[in-house]
C-alpha cells in the first residue's frame, strides 16, 4: 500500500509530538485522524495544530485513553493502518501529585488501545511512546535498548508498564507493535511546564522587561536533548520496517540545564547567571541526574540520526517565544 492510501490514528495529536507527527504524515499523503478529550478549554486544544497550519487537514475524533469503548468505536470507524499512541499524563512533577491518574492514563491507557487494536483491527501497526525516564537511576553511562530500567517517578513507572505491555502484545498475539524509547525532545511547541520552554519563555520575558528572574530546581541535571521534528521521523520509520522492534532515539550528547540556560540567554545578549534563582520547590522527590542515549541501533536499522543541534533548537525556541510575546 502506498502512503497516499494510508490512514493513521494519533492519540495525543494536540501535543508537541502529535502535531509534528501529523504534519509529517500529511506531507507523505496520509489521511490523519487524531483523538481529543472532551474539555471545557476546547478553544485552546488545537493551538499547536494551528501554529503548524494543519488543523483543517486533520479529522479530530472524540475519545479517551481511559475509556476502552471509545477506542473500540474509533478503531471500528477509522480502520487505521498505523496507530501512534502519544497521549499520556507526561509531566513528571504532576505524576507525584496525581500518581493514580498517571497510572490509569499513561499505563493502562496504552493497554486499552492495544486491546482495541487486537479486537477490531489486529493488522494495524502500533507505535508506543516510551521514554528515557524509564532508565531513571541509570545502570550504564550510555543507555541503550538492553540497559536495565530503574524508573524514579510514577510517570516513568507507568510508561514502563505500557512499554512491557507493548512487548507482550507483540509476542503473544503476533501484533506489529513497537516502542520508541525517546530521550528528551523539545521545540517551539513544547508546553511551558517543561524546563526548556520555561527557560526560553523566561529569557524573552526578561529581555522584554516582563519578568525579573527565572526560578529553577536542579540545574546540574544532565539531559540528552533533541528536536521533536527529528524524533517523530523516527516514529514513522519504526512502523515502515519488515519486523516490529524497540529503539532508543537520542542524540548521544548530554548537556546540563545550566548550559542550556546559557545558550538561551546568550541568544538574547543576556547572562543567565544574573537571573537564575534556585528554588527548592522545583526539586523532584527522586532526581534523575543524568540521561544519555545510544542511538546506534536506530542508525543501523532505520537509517535515523538527529539532524538539528541543541543550539539551533534553543535559538529557534527563543525566537518563537519572542514572536509570541511581542
Chain length of the chain: 326
Which grid coordinates belong to 214? Answer: 527565572
Q: Could you say which of 11, 14, 131, 255 is catalytic? A: 131
Please report the DSSP string for 242-285 in residue order. Answer: SS---EEE--S--EEHHHHHHHHHHTTT--GGGTEEE-GGGS-S
| Region for 136 from its dihedrals, namely left if φ exceeds 0, alpha if ψ lies in -120 to 50, beta otherwise | left
Strands 59-62, 31-36: pairing is parallel
| Region for 31 from its dihedrals, namely left if φ exceeds 0, alpha if ψ lies in -120 to 50, beta otherwise | beta
The span from the CA of 263 to the CA of 317, in Å, is 11
Spatial contact of 93 and 134, defined as CB atoms under 8 Å apart: no
Q: Could you say which of 30, 155, 169, 176 is catalytic? A: 155
Among this protein's residues, is 133 annotated catalytic?
yes
Among this protein's residues, is 142 annotated catalytic?
no
Among this protein's residues, is 131 annotated catalytic?
yes
Spatial contact of 143 and 248, defined as CB atoms under 8 Å apart: yes
Least Cα distance to 251 among 298, 199, 188 occurs for 298
Q: Could you say which of 84, 102, 106, 133 is catalytic? A: 133
Which grid coordinates belong to 89? Answer: 499524563
Across the beta sheet with 7-11, what order do the strands follow?
59-62, 31-36, 7-11, 82-85, 125-131, 177-182, 247-249
Give the residue numbers annotated as catalytic, written as ranges. Answer: 131, 133, 155
Amino acid at each position: 500500500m502506498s502512503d497516499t492510501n494510508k490512514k493513521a490514528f494519533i492519540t495525543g495529536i494536540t501535543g508537541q509530538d502529535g502535531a509534528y507527527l501529523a504534519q509529517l504524515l500529511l506531507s507523505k499523503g496520509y489521511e490523519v485522524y487524531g483523538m481529543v478529550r472532551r474539555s471545557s478549554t476546547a478553544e485552546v486544544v488545537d493551538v499547536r495544530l494551528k501554529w503548524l497550519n494543519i488543523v483543517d487537514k486533520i479529522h479530530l475524533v472524540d475519545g479517551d485513553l481511559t475509556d476502552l469503548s471509545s477506542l473500540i468505536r474509533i478503531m471500528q470507524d477509522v480502520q487505521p493502518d498505523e496507530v501512534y499512541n502519544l497521549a499520556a499524563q507526561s509531566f513528571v512533577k504532576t505524576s507525584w501529585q496525581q500518581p493514580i491518574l498517571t497510572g490509569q492514563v499513561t499505563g493502562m491507557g496504552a493497554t486499552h488501545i492495544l486491546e482495541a487494536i487486537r479486537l477490531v483491527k489486529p493488522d494495524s501497526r502500533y507505535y508506543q511512546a516510551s521514554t528515557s525516564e524509564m532508565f531513571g537511576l541509570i545502570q550504564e553511562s550510555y543507555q541503550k535498548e538492553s540497559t536495565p530500567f530503574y524508573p524514579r517517578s510514577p510517570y516513568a513507572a507507568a510508561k514502563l508498564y505500557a512499554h512491557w505491555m507493548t512487548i507482550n502484545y507483540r509476542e503473544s498475539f503476533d501484533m506489529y507493535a513497537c516502542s520508541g524509547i525517546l530521550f528528551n525532545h523539545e521545540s517551539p511547541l513544547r508546553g511551558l511546564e517543561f524546563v526548556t520552554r520555561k527557560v526560553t519563555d523566561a529569557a524573552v520575558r526578561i529581555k522584554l522587561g516582563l519578568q525579573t528572574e527565572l526560578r529553577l530546581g536542579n540545574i546540574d541535571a544532565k539531559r540528552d536533548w533533541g528536536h521533536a521534528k527529528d524524533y517523530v521521523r523516527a516514529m514513522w520509520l519504526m512502523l515502515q520496517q519488515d519486523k516490529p522492534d524497540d529503539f532508543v532515539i537520542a542524540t548521544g550528547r548530554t548537556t546540563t540545564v545550566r548550559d542550556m540556560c546559557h545558550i538561551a540567554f546568550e541568544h538574547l545578549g543576556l547572562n543567565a547567571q544574573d537571573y537564575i534563582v534556585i528554588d527548592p520547590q522545583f526539586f523532584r522527590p527522586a532526581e534523575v541526574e543524568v540521561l544519555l542515549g545510544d542511538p546506534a541501533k536506530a542508525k543501523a536499522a532505520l537509517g535515523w540520526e538527529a539532524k538539528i543541534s541543541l543550539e539551533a533548537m534553543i535559538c529557534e525556541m527563543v525566537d518563537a517565544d519572542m514572536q509570541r510575546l511581542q
